[in-house]
Chain A
Amino acid sequence: MLINPVLASYSDLAYGTALVLYLLAMGLHAVEYAAGPVLVTAAAGRMAAEGDGSVATLASPHNVPPPNVPPQNVPPENVTESSLHRGKPERIGRSAVALTGLAALVHASSLALRGAAIGRVPWANMYEFTSAICFVAVAGWLVVLYRQSMTSRQPMTSRQPSAAAALQRLGAFVLLPVVVLMFLGGTVLYAQAAPLIPALNSYWITIHVSAAATASGILLVSGVASVLYLLGAGDSSRIAARLPASATLDQLAYRTAVLALPIWTFAIITGAIWAEAAWGRYWGWDPKETCALVAWVVYAGYLHARATAGWRGSRAAWINVVGFGVMLFNLFFVNIVIAGFHSYAGI
C-alpha cells in the first residue's frame, strides 16, 4: 500500500479550489448580510427574551403572534418597514449557498482523492483532520439550512424574509472559521500524503478519528451560533439588528450541541478502547485525553445550564463558546506545543 502521488496532487488542487470557493461564498454572504434588511421583529423578540426567560417570544422573523391570539389579528404595521429591500440580498445569499454547496462537493472530492491516494481514511495528521472538521462543519451547516427551508415552507403572511433566509445570512460567520482553519491547514499544517506509522495503523483510526472530526465540525457550527447569540444579546448594534432572533440562534446552538455530544462521547470511548490496544492502558491522562474530557465536561455543563433557572441565555451561550475554545485548544495547542502521545498527529 503505497502512495499515489497523482491522486494526492489532485486532492491538493481540489483543496485549494474548495478554499477559494468558500472564500467567494463568504464574500457573497457578507454582501447579503450588509445589504440585508434589519430584522425589527428579531430585535424586539430579543428584548423580550432578555426581559423574562419564560415569556413566549417569537421563534423566527415570521410575525407570529403568541399562540393564544388568533393570527388574523396581526396588525400589518408590525411588519418591518424595510421589507421592501427584500429580494436582492437574499438572492445573493442564495447564490452564496449554492456556491458553498459546490465548494463542499469539491472539498469532499479532495478528501476522497486523498483517501484514494493513501488507501485509508484521510484524517491521520493535522492537515487532514482540519480539512475533515471543516467539511463536516460546512456539510452540517448546509443540512441546517436545508431543514430550515423545509420546515418553514408555509404560506407567507408577511413580506419578511423567511426563517431560512434569516439563518442563511449567517453564512459569512460560519464560513469565516472554516476559511481560516482551511488556510492554516493548507499552509502551516500541510503534510505530504504518506502511509501510516505503526502506532496509527489500526482500524480504530477510522472509527475514533471519524467520530472526533464529526463532533468537532458540528460543534464548530454550534460555537458560531453561540458567539452570534452573544453578539446579538449584548446591544442593539448594527450587527445585532441583522441577526436572526436570539431564540433561533440559541436553538441552533443547542440542537447542534445535542447532536454532537453523543458523537463526542463515542469518540472518547473509542479513543479509550484504542488506547487500551496501543498504549497499554485505556486512560492515562495524556494531555489530549485530559483536554477531550475537559471539553466533554464543559459541554455537559452547557446542557445542564440550559436546564437550570438563571443560567439560560447568555451564560449558557458563554459556556458553549468556552467549550469550543477548549476544542480548538485541544486541536492546536496540545498537538503542537505539548508533548504527549498524540504528538505524532502533529505537523
Chain B
Amino acid sequence: MIRTHPVTAVLRNTWRGLTSMRTALMLLFLLALAALPGALLPQYSLNPQRVQTYQAQHPRLAPVLDRLGFFEVFASPWFAAIYLLLFVSLVGCVVPRSVEYARQLRRAPVATPRNLGRLPHHARAESDTAPEEILGAARRRLRGWRIAEREEPGGARTLSAERGYLREAGNLLFHVALLGLLVSFAIGKVVGYQGQVIVLADGSQFCNSGPLAYDSFTPGRSVDGTALEPFCVQVNAFTPTYLPTGQPREFRANISYQGPDDLATARWHPYQLKVNDPLRIGSTRVYLLGHGYAPQFTVTFPDGQQRTGVVQWPPVDMTTLLSEGTTKFDPPGVTEDAVRRTRQLAITGLFAPTAAFRGSLLSSAFPDLFDPAVAIDVLEGDLGNNSGRGQSIFSIEESMVSSGRLKQVARQNLRPGEQLTLPDRTVVRFDGVTRFVSLQVSYDPAQRWVLGFAVLVFGGLGLSLAVKRRRFWVRVTPAGLAGTVVELGGLARTEAAGYGEEFDRIVADLLPPGQAAPPVLTGHQSRIAVEGRRASDADQSGSGLL
C-alpha cells in the first residue's frame, strides 16, 4: 500500500478542491459580488471628488471602507485574490481537459452499445438489402462524421459515428483566450500610461516630452516617464456646433501634429480631431475629451506696467458652459517677498459664454460664444502660493481669505473691453476669451492583444454553444433468408437542441419509408431522457467546464 506524505495529500486535496467545478462556481459568484461595490461606491480612479464627497457625508463608515479598499475595488488585494484563484482553477481545469481532448481526437468512436433500443433515439427495421450495402449507405450518409466499423462475435456488424468535436475545442479555446485576455490586460496596465492636458486653442502646443508636460499623468508600474513616444500637437482652433436648444452636435479641433519622424524635419501634419475619432500616432492616441473657455485679463498697475493672464476657467454647468475660475497676478518689479505678499492679485468669479443677467447675477443662456461676460471679484493681498503647499490654479486659498490676508477690493460684471479700477488705481480689463480643449493621451501597446483574445473568447464561446456533440450507431445483423435486421441508435452527449430531428432525418435517409418498424420513436419526445443521460455523463467527468 502506497502511503502519501501528509503534506502531499493536503496539497493534492487543495488542488482538487480548487479546480473543482463547485469552487469555480463559487469563485465566479464571488467575483460578481466583489465587483459590485466598484459600481455602487465612488472610486478614486474614476472620480476622486466624488470619493471625497462620500467621505464627507459618511465620516464613520468611509474610513473603514477606505482601509478595506472599497474606493479602489479593482486594485484591491481581495479582488485580485478572487480573480487569480479563479484563473488558477481555470488552468487546473483546462489542462487536464486539453489532454483528454487530445486523447479523444486520436481515439475511434466508442463501440456500439449492445441494446440500441435503450437509447433515447433509436429505430429498428428489417430489410432485404445486404448488410454490406446498408453499411455502405450509412457511411456515405454520415460523411463528415468520425466513423469506426467493428464486427461482433454473433456475426453482426456495427458502425459507430461521432460528430461535433469542435464543441470541446471551442470550449477550451474560450477558456484559454480568457487567460490570454487577462494577461494582456495586465501587461497593458503595467507598460501603458494616460495623461490629460489642457491646451489653449489659439495655436498653443503640447509636446509629449515627459510627465511634467501634463496636467495629470497616470503611469503604469514600469513607466518612469523618460521614454515617452515623442510627438507634438498644436491646437489651431476649436469649433463646436450646437442645436438651437443648446444640445451639442459636433466638436471639432483643428490641429497640426508632428510624429516621431517629423521632429527632425519640423514638418506638421494637419488633422481634424473629433470626439469618437482619436489621433493615432504609433501606439499612442490623442483624444479630444472636453473644452471650455479661458478669459483673458490685463492688469495695468499704478506704475504703468501691464501683465496679461489667460487661464482656463473650467465649466461648472455642462449644458450652458457657465465657468468658474481664478486668474492670479504677481505685482511686477517687487523683489521683496514681504511686500509682494501684500500686493498679489486674484481675479475670481464666473464666466458666461452667452450672458444672461438676473439683476446683476450672471448666468449663461447658451454654451456657444455669443455674448461673453464675466462676474468677478478682485482680491488683493497674500495668495499663499509660496507657503510650500500646492495650490489649485482654478481657485484661491480660502484660508487666506478667512484669515484676512487676502481681501476683496472690487466686484463687478464686465463685458469684453470693459474695465474696472481698484482703489489703488490698478486697472483690471477683461480683454476677451480664448477657447481651450482638454486632450487625453493614452498609450497601451497591449490593447491589440486584448482585442485579439476577445475575438477568440467570442469565437470559442460561439463554437462551444452552437456545436452539438452527438453519436450515431448502426448495427446490421444477418437474419437468415429474410434479409437484414437494421438497428439504429443516437445519443447527444450535450444538451441537444434538435438532435432528435437530425436523427430522424438520417433514419429516413437510411431506411426508406415502409421499412422502418413503426413506430419510430423520435427525438423530441425523448429529449429529456437525453438530458438525463447527459447529466450522468457530466457527473462522471467530474469537474467539467461546461
Contact = CB atoms under 8 A, between A and B. Distances in A.
Given A255-B497, A280-B442, A309-B538, A262 B274 contact: no
Contacts of A339: 47, 50
A258 interface: yes
B222 interface: no
Interface stretch (A20-28, A48-56, A95-103, A218-226): A48-56
Interface in A242-284: 247, 251, 254-255, 258, 261-262, 265-266, 269, 272-274, 276-284
Contacts of B529: 56, 66-67
B285 A53 contact: no
A55 B46 CA distance: 52
Contact of B275 (A67, A198, A290, A338): A198
Nearest to B288: A198
B274 A198 contact: yes
Nearest to B463: A262
Interface string A177-198: 0000000000000000011011
Contacts of A309: 535, 538-539
A192 to B, nearest CB: 10
A255 B494 CA distance: 13
Interface in A282-300: 282-287, 290-291, 293-294, 297-298, 300
B117 interface: yes
B21 interface: yes
Interface stretch (B61-69, B379-387, B446-454): B446-454
A266 B458 CA distance: 7
B190 interface: no
Contacts of A247: 528, 531
Contact of B39 (A198, A284, A291): A291
A66 B74 CA distance: 52
B32 A277 contact: no
Contacts of A297: 28-29, 31-32, 35
Determine which residue in A247, A254, A277 has the highest number of CB atoms from chain B within 10 A of its CB, and name it: A277
Determine which residue in A56, A265, A293, A305 has the highest number of CB atoms from chain B within 10 A of its CB, and name it: A56
A119 interface: no
Interface in B17-44: 21-22, 24-25, 28-29, 31-32, 35-36, 38-40, 43
A280 B251 CA distance: 16
A195 B249 contact: yes
A199 B275 contact: yes
A151 interface: yes
Contact of A54 (B36, B247, B535): B535
B21 A285 contact: no
Contact of A197 (B22, B29, B185, B248): B248
A261 B461 CA distance: 9
Nearest to B241: A198
Contact of B277 (A251, A272, A277, A294): A277
Contacts of A301: 25, 28-29, 32
A237 interface: no
Nearest to A200: B276
B287 A201 contact: no
B465 interface: yes
A58 interface: yes
B278 interface: yes
Contacts of A199: 275-276
B524 A54 contact: no
A280 B497 CA distance: 42
A262 B521 contact: no
Contacts of B287: 278-280
Given A201-B275, A280-B440, A294 B39 contact: yes
A201 B447 contact: no
Measured as residues with beta carbon below 8 angstroms from the partner, the interface class of chain A is 35 or more
A198 B251 contact: yes
Contacts of B24: 304
A10 interface: no
Contacts of B40: 287, 338
B32 A281 contact: no
Contacts, number: 182
A311 interface: yes
Contact of A198 (B250, B451, B539): B250
Given A273-B451, A294-B32, A304-B28, A285 B38 contact: yes
Contacts of B524: 59, 151-152
A304 to B, nearest CB: 6
A308 interface: yes
Given A53-B535, A198-B251, A307 B39 contact: no
B495 interface: yes
Contacts of A67: 118-120, 122, 521, 525-526, 529
A281 B39 contact: no
A68 B118 contact: yes
A111 B32 CA distance: 34
B16 to A, nearest CB: 15
B46 to A, nearest CB: 7
Contacts of B531: 247
B194 interface: yes
Contacts of B444: 281-282
B43 A62 contact: no
Nearest to A196: B249
Contacts of B77: none
A198 B276 contact: yes
Given A294-B36, A308-B21, A56 B194 contact: no
Interface in A309-345: 309-312, 326, 334, 338-340
Contacts of B497: 255
A236 interface: no
A8 to B, nearest CB: 15
A55 B21 contact: no
A303 interface: yes
A56 B247 contact: no
A285 B43 contact: yes
A5 interface: no
B290 to A, nearest CB: 11
Given A255-B497, A273-B451, A280-B287, A290 B39 contact: yes
27 contacts: A56-B526, A56-B529, A59-B527, A59-B528, A62-B525, A66-B529, A67-B118, A71-B521, A198-B275, A277-B276, A278-B275, A279-B287, A280-B289, A284-B45, A290-B35, A291-B36, A297-B28, A300-B28, A301-B25, A301-B29, A308-B21, A308-B544, A310-B22, A311-B25, A339-B47, A339-B50, A340-B46
Given A269-B457, A310-B22, 19 more contacts: A54-B532, A56-B529, A64-B525, A64-B526, A67-B119, A67-B525, A67-B526, A151-B498, A194-B247, A195-B243, A198-B275, A272-B454, A287-B38, A304-B25, A304-B545, A307-B544, A308-B538, A308-B544, A338-B39
Nearest first, the 3 closest Cβ-Cβ pairs linking A and B are A56-B529, A287-B39, A290-B39
Interface of B: 21-22, 24-25, 28-29, 31-32, 35-36, 38-40, 43, 45-47, 50, 73-74, 117-120, 122, 185, 194, 243, 245, 247-251, 274-278, 285, 287, 289, 440, 442, 444, 447, 450-451, 454-455, 457-458, 461-462, 465, 495, 497-498, 501, 519, 521-522, 524-529, 531-533, 535-536, 538-539, 544-546
Interface of A: 53-59, 62, 64, 66-68, 70-71, 151-152, 154, 194-195, 197-199, 201-202, 204, 247, 251, 254-255, 258, 261-262, 265-266, 269, 272-274, 276-287, 290-291, 293-294, 297-298, 300-301, 303-312, 326, 334, 338-340
